[in-house]
Amino acid sequence: MAFHRFAGALAKKAFKVSFANTLLPKLDQRFTRHDVRCAHTQVKKLAPDDHRLIWKLQRLCSICLIIALPIDVMYPCLLFDNLFVLLMALHSFWGVNDTIADYCRPILFGPYFRKAWHAIWYITWTVGFSGLLYLNFMDIGFGRALYKIWRLEPKD
Amino acid sequence: MSAICRLAGRQLCSRLANSERNSLLFVRPVTIQAQPYKEPPKQGHDEKNMQLGRPCSPHLTVYQVQLTSTLSISHRITGCMLSGYAMAFGFGAMLPGDFTTFLDGLHLNSACIFSIKMMLAFPFSYHFLNGIRHLSWDAGKFLTIKEVYTTGYVMVAAAFALTACLAAL
């Protein structure tokens, strides 16, 4: 009996030691790593210039454009014309805006060159986009205009 | 004299021997104060380089001309061309008179019409097909060097074919 009790106590002690030495530190480490990861995501979410949403919107816009162009040329109407012009204008706005930001470098052209080109682009884009909307609402619309250019009769 | 040396030596030796235990005796106490986090000034990549007197980075002229970079910059050039066409179209639409009478009054010969179609069709075909290539990269496809080159060659060939088809319409 005494031997059994002694062996049981020994086993318990051995388990405690092994538990304390192996399992607990592992759990601790896991929690620490987990906490760090959580903190990391939180910091990322709170960042003021987070480009994840705009990046996804840009890809979505590009994919919609691929579908919208053939639909607009095949079935030109006010809805499809405006939808295509809106998507195209957004895609063009982002594209030229990023191109200006990437190539009008302050280190090469000074601090005001990029700002000036951004201003020029914003004004041009606003006027051009308004013109395209005018074409859709007051004239034949974008899809039909494109069709007419492709159906030009040569006059030699 | 020897007694003094021996005493001093013993003192030092005993200190060094116990240094592991009493190492804190040699350390000057320092109080560490927590300071609230101060955000560094917001600065662009170029502004920082200018402030530190560094050269322009990335520096374009040190790179060899490659298919990858050429196709990439052409994608932007064709995109800007198409944006220019769209904006010019928008500006033109606001001029007095409607579009149909304007087109009928142009009196273009066939060579002119063909070149107009080519000028519209090539940037469009190129930007359209390379845009699909870029979108597939964004979806995580064709990202090995071999695939990037293969899709590049295929895209250029397809862009010429699509241009020919569109101009022939």
Kindly state whether residues A85 and A141 are assigned to the same domain.
yes
Q: State residue B22's pLDDT score.
A: 58
Assign residue B141 a region (left: φ > 0; alpha: ψ between -120 and 50; beta: otherwise). beta
pLDDT digits 0-9 by tens, B102-126: 988 888 889 999 999 999 999 999 9
Pick the range with the lowest mean pLDDT from A11-15, A113-117, B43-47.
Answer: A11-15
Residues of B within 8 A of A70 (CB-CB) are: none
**First and final C-alpha spacing in chain A:** 119
Mean pLDDT value of segment A124-153 = 94
To the nearest whole Å, the CA of B1 is away from the closest chain A CA by 55
| Contact between A107 and B108 using a beta-carbon 8 Å cutoff | no
Q: How confident is residue A38, by pLDDT bands cut at 50, 70 and 90?
A: very low
Residue A60: the pLDDT is 97
SS3 B160: helix
Looking at the domain assignment, is residue B28 inside a domain? no
What's the domain range around A140?
Answer: 52-151
Q: Which of A89, A107, A145 sits opposite B99 (nearest CB)?
A: A145
Residue A28, domain member (yes or no): yes
B46 located within any domain:
no
Asked if residue A40 belongs to a domain, the reply is no
Going by pLDDT thresholds of 50, 70 and 90, the confidence category of residue A51 is confident
Q: Does B113 reside within a domain?
A: yes
| B10 compared with B88, residue with greater pLDDT | B88
pLDDT score recorded for residue A5: 64
Phi, psi (deg, nearest 5) at residue A132: -65, -40
pLDDT surpasses 90 at A24: no
Q: What percent of chain B has pLDDT over 70?
A: 88
Q: Is A43 on the interface with B (CB under 8 A)?
A: no
pTM confidence score: 0.73
**A28 and A70 fall within a common domain:** no
Lowest mean pLDDT among B58-67, B81-90, B147-156: B58-67
Q: Determine contact: B100 vs chain A, CB below 8 A.
A: yes
Residue A41 lies in a domain: no
Does residue B132 carry a pLDDT above 80? yes
Kindly tell me if the per-residue pLDDT of B63 is higher than 70.
yes
Put simply, whether A88 touches B (Cβ < 8 Å) is: yes
Whether B103 and A128 lie within 8 Å, measured CB to CB: no
Domains: count for chain B: 1
Q: Which of A86, A122, A132 to mutate to test the interface with B (most CBs of B within 10 A)?
A: A132
Residue B88: CB atoms within 10 Å: 13
DSSP per-residue string spanning A87-149: HHHHHHHHHHHHHHHHHS-HHHH-TTHHHHHHHHHHHHHHHHHHHHHHHHHHSS-HHHHHHHH
A50 — pLDDT class (breaks 50, 70, 90): confident
Closest CA to B119 of B88, B96, B94, B90: B88
pLDDT at B105: 87
In percent, the amount of chain A with pLDDT more than 70 equals 69
The Cα of A31 is separated from the nearest Cα of chain B by a number of Å equal to 25
Residue-wise pLDDT for B1-48, tens only, equals 677 777 776 776 666 666 555 555 667 788 899 999 988 888 888 888
Given a cut of 60, is residue A28 above it in pLDDT?
Answer: no
Whether residues A16 and A69 share a domain: the answer is no
A24 and A101 belong to one structural domain: no
What is the Cα–Cα distance from A149 to B120, expressed in whole angstroms? 10
C-alpha gyration radius of chain A: 32
**At A60, which CATH number?**
1.20.1300.10
Q: How confident is the model at residue B59 (pLDDT cuts 50, 70, 90)?
A: confident
Q: What's the pLDDT score for residue A100?
A: 95
SS3 content of chain A, % helix, strand, coil (to 5): 85, 0, 15
Same domain, A99 and A61: yes
The reply to whether A69 and A9 lie within a common domain is no
Average pLDDT over every residue of A85-96: 97
Q: Is residue A11 part of a domain?
A: yes
The answer to whether B165 faces chain A, any CB pair under 8 Å, is no
Count of domains in chain A? 2
**Domain harbouring B108, CATH code:** 1.20.1300.10
Average pLDDT value for chain A = 81
Is residue A42 assigned to a domain?
no
* pLDDT on residue B62: 87
- Domain-embedded: residue A47: no
- The per-residue pLDDT for A4 is 60
pLDDT reading at A17 higher than 80: no
* Type of residue numbered B101: T
The answer to whether residue B85 sits within a structural domain is yes
Q: How far is B39 from chain A (nearest CA, A)?
A: 12
- Quick check: A59 and A122 in contact, CB under 8 A? no
Among the partner residues B93, B108, B113, nearest to A131 by beta-carbon distance: B93
- Determine the Cα–Cα distance for residues B163 and A69; give it in Å rounded to an integer: 16
Give domain status of residue B151, yes or no: yes
Q: Do A135 and B89 touch (CB under 8 A)?
A: yes
Q: At residue B94, does pLDDT exceed 60?
A: yes
Q: Are A140 and B99 an interchain contact pair (Cβ–Cβ within 8 Å)?
A: yes
Same domain, A14 and A82: no
B85 part of contact set with chain A, CB < 8 Å = no
In chain B, the percentage of residues whose pLDDT exceeds 90 is 54
pLDDT at A36: 46
**Structure-block tokens of residue A153:** 């009769």
**Residue B33 touches partner A, C-beta closer than 8 Å:** no
**Do residues A18 and A69 both lie within one domain?**
no
B120 touches chain A (CB under 8 A): yes
Indicate whether B105 belongs to any domain.
yes
Do A68 and A112 lie in one domain? The reply is yes
Same structural domain for residues A70 and A144?
Answer: yes
The pLDDT of residue A47 is 62
Say if B90 falls within a structural domain. yes
**Which residue range forms the structural domain that includes residue B155?**
67-168
CA distance B10 to chain A (A): 41
Q: Is residue B18 part of a domain?
A: no
Minimal-distance CA residue of chain B relative to A107: B46
Predicted pLDDT of residue B37: 92
Report the alpha-carbon distance of residue B146 to residue B140 in Å, rounded.
15
From the CB of residue A141, how many other CB atoms can be counted at a distance below 10 Å?
A: 23
Tokens 């107009």 found at: B116
Contact B136, A63 (CB under 8 A): no
